[in-house]
Amino acid sequence: MAEGRRLDGWRVIVTGASRGIGRAIAIACAAEGATVGINFHRSRDAASSLADQLGAAGVLLPFDVGNVAEVTSAFDAFVERTGGLDALVNNAAVVHPSLLVAAADEDVGAMVRTNLLGTVACTRAALPVMLRQRRGVIVNVGSIAASRPCRGQAVYAATKAAVQALAAAVDVEYARKGIRCEWLAPGPVDTDMLAPTLAMAGRGALDSVDLGELMTPEVVAAQVVERLLARNDAGSSTDRVSPQALYALMSSRRSIRRFTAEMPPREAIESVLAAAVTAPSASNKQPWRFIVVSNAATITRMADAVRGAVDRIARVVDPAFEPAFRAYGDYFTRFEHAPIVIVPICRALTVLSNMTLPQIGKDDAAAIAQMERDSGLIGTSLAVQNLLLAAHAAGLGASGMTGPLVAVEAIRGILDIAPSWHVVALVPIGYADEQPEPTARKAAARVTQWIE
């Protein structure tokens, strides 16, 4: 493999790849090291010529995107041959310019079938593979016509707007499973498909979108490659999360306490922890440490200790409340069947207390001591929140549990945690074996006081 190719090892299907934008995308992906599935419907000669050009990097995939059975069969064949699917570029489209009232029914049907339903079919074929891999990227090639159509583009523009909406919806649904869906809306591109549009709307149509010069397929292809790689570099200044996407991630997270037996890969846990330590902390002291427990016997010992503590406490609870307490205490051991339990710990920040003289007032000393204890705890709690969100985004289930801390001293002994460290919570993590319903949340207005 050539050094420095950014898509080395990727397996990519490009629909409508025999000519125009799709051909340029296939060439660009192969140039970056990907194995490319070259989809075509009728243009076999052009597709075969491209496959010859790409050599071992090109795999011919003859299918009609509007035929679900053909799509499924072709995707299965590609995955069987290459071992997986890292990316799908939904590019296939047709255009039949016409004023809406004069449009032939068959032309309307063809555009909806290929541009929209074909994109849906290919996306549905790709998702099961990507869900098994717990990763994947889908890029839908839209068009500026979705927002700024020219004369004769009513149906075409509608299908492209739908394709862009589909990308946003798929991203919301599957981002937490490690699957990203993006779209781009290029302006008029110098391909054979543009000719009938210009024939109807005239070249003045270019002025109506303030672009003047036509884009080339190669420019669009380069944009697609960047979309495939977007967010891979966490330090990129262009890696911005929209408020809507962030809210969707936060609001869709659930506390998971039932897990499958499958052990998450170590790199997935390391990635989650890397997100945790980006949390803010007082004076940037980062007072946290994380103990990752994957030893089943150790997890069982912790659960037994919690169970024992619950039983001891239950014997001195008001008899009227004992059944309720035992039912509540049952939740405290739900971490027992998680493949991994992360134990965040912290210690107080002794910054101000180390500066003060013995003659400091009692109230001030107490306030400083509490502030230093709380600062460590708050900073680590923010790290735990980052951890939970990162786990959710990576397709893992997790929850922050403080109930088990009824046995905190026993847990401290089992894990050999020094007395100076505070155990913040237990965080079971793994692949979810439940889908909890969303819990009711108090409206922000109910819990907010404005002092103006």
Asked if residues 188 and 143 have their Cβ atoms less than 8 Å apart, the reply is no
Q: Which helix (H) or strand (E) holds 169?
A: helix 154-174
Answer left, alpha or beta for residue 178, where phi above 0 means left and psi between -120 and 50 means alpha: left
Among 146, 240, 238, residue whose Cα is nearest residue 186: 146
DSSP secondary structure string for all residues of 295-316: -HHHHHHHHHHHHHHHHHHHTT
Given a contact cutoff of 8 angstroms between Cβ atoms, the answer to whether 196 and 96 are in contact is: yes
Buried b (16+ CB within 10 A) or exposed e, 213-252: eebebbebbebbbebbbbeeeeeeeeeeeeeeeeebbeee
Beta bridge partners of 341: 293, 428
Amino acid identity at 18: S
| Residues 155 and 112 sit within 8 Å (Cβ to Cβ) | yes
Q: Where are the beta strands (DSSP E) in 41-193?
A: 58-62, 87-90, 136-141, 179-184
Helix intervals (H) in 2-116: 20-31, 44-54, 68-82, 105-111
- What's the gap between Cα 24 and its chain centre? 27
Q: Is 247 a catalytic residue?
A: no
DSSP per residue, 209-252: TT--SPBPHHHHHHHHHHHHHTTSSTT-TT----HHHHHHHHHH
| Residue of 156, 174, 331, 431 marked active site | 156
Q: Which helix (H) or strand (E) holds 36?
A: strand 35-40
Strands 288-293 and 397-398: unpaired
Annotated catalytic residues are 156
